[in-house]
Chain A
């Protein structure tokens, strides 16, 4: 079964996303920050990572940088409620880091489905 790792520090949102992705038929692991995510990747590499950007401790940007440094090929969907500063869009930055898809919170179930399909499709 396709394994999805969810990384988000907002517990309620994480619970929601976990349920939603499970209902799409994936096996889900959910963690609260970048360090826990790296640990989970070491334990059992997922087929897809859906990560929030702004998190305490190791954030989504750092997580993506570290995975890229390790030569990880795991596709990533970046999700965010927006930047902490007004002129910096984290999702734009994430796109520069070659994530497979981005989603702005709040998003619909349909756009999540599309993003997952896009991220899991072979790179053209």
Chain B
């Protein structure tokens, strides 16, 4: 029944051919409707079985050949009239399912990347928390044993035991210090030269698919490349968080987010090392912020989002990240006039960047 050209399972090809045949020979509207519903199901099955679009075309072609061979006398007009609807139905279901799958995939990548940096942060927080509590416990053990040393006669045999307790406590303290050093090393990967224009383009490509379609996300870099020293995920985290916030500010309706990259002379700004800075900007035409909100927006746990919608940590983390990179972040906003977040980072001269360059595709692997 099937031609050797298609790698789609024979059962699918058979089902497709049979479906077309039933549509062509349908005698009442109900039969046509049933064929249409089945065509839509088939479109979704084709996506679920990862059958490529060109193979769907081949399936269709084969089904037509089968139909023509079986009914050489069938008028072409009837075939065309009866077949177009189920064909369109299949394709529409196919492309909808395809779009959904694409969105899910992009979302999964965005999510995995955010999750990764959160995980590293969590390891650090967990280690720090355990270290804090253990140090408190050791403080009590050590302190009480020192007090007992004083209470017992100097020649009491237990003095030796107390000495051991203290030695063991110090060992535990050193172990905790080593655990913290290790956790810091895990949580911090070393900074490398990062080309932000390409990296931001890649991130926005991912974000575009996961943001609501009514929001336009435009990338308008003023330069073709700009280098900074950063950990591979830091710029990514900054841009993602700012864009997700911008999308929230735009809300349900139509809106536009513009992301820019500029290289500016840093003169007059003593806080930025070097003579140039890289300015990243994320501007939205959303609801904007009052001066009151602007003043608090970087505070940990401050959020304007509905309960459960935001931790209030995103911008405070970004603020910390930008500071760690030796940069600055500021806001231009007014209620009703949208918000622009401006991040200035120390510029890395391209000749220095070339020494240890990293493109976004490499940044997935070992630094």
Contact = CB atoms under 8 A, between A and B. Distances in A.
B133 A106 contact: no
Interface stretch (A28-36, A79-87, A114-122): A79-87
Contact of A81 (B127, B136, B141, B147): B136
Interface string A81-123: 1111111000000000000000011111100000000000000
Interface residues of A, number: 23
B125 A106 contact: no
A13 B139 contact: yes
A20 B147 contact: yes
A78 interface: no
A17, A20, A23, A81 interface centre (most CB from chain B within 10 Å): A81
A61 to B, nearest CB: 13
B274 interface: no
B128 A106 contact: no
A86 B138 contact: no
A1 interface: no
Contacts of A86: 124-125, 127-128, 180, 183-184, 187
A10 interface: yes
Contact of B139 (A16, A83, A85): A16
Contacts, number: 74
A16 B173 CA distance: 18
B244 to A, nearest CB: 22
A19 interface: yes
A76 interface: no
Contacts of A17: 143
Given A13-B140, A16-B140, A19-B147, A84 B128 contact: yes
Interface string B121-138: 000110111011111101
What is the size category of the interface that chain B forms with chain A? 20 to 34
A120 B240 CA distance: 51
B132 A54 contact: yes
A85 B147 CA distance: 32
Interface string A53-81: 01000000000000000000000000011
Contacts of B229: none
Given A20-B143, A87-B124, A82 B132 contact: yes
A4 to B, nearest CB: 15
Contact of B131 (A10, A12, A81): A81
B58 interface: no
A32 to B, nearest CB: 13
A106 B184 contact: no
B142 interface: yes
A80 B142 CA distance: 15
A56 to B, nearest CB: 13
Describe B's contact surface by its main secondary structure: helix
B136 A84 contact: no
B211 to A, nearest CB: 30
B184 to A, nearest CB: 6
A16 B132 contact: no
A3 to B, nearest CB: 21
A104 B177 CA distance: 11
Nearest to A17: B143
A81 B143 CA distance: 14
A88 to B, nearest CB: 8
A10 B128 CA distance: 17
B146 interface: yes
A108 B134 contact: no
Contacts of B147: 16, 19-20, 23, 109
B298 to A, nearest CB: 15
B144 interface: yes
Contact of B173 (A12, A80, A106): A106
A106 to B, nearest CB: 4
B143 A106 contact: yes
Contacts of A20: 143, 146-147
Contacts of B273: none
A83 B138 CA distance: 16
Interface string B7-47: 00000000000000000000000000000000000000000
A13 B184 contact: no
Contacts of B141: 106
Interface of B: 124-125, 127-129, 131-136, 138-144, 146-147, 150, 169, 173, 180, 183-184, 187
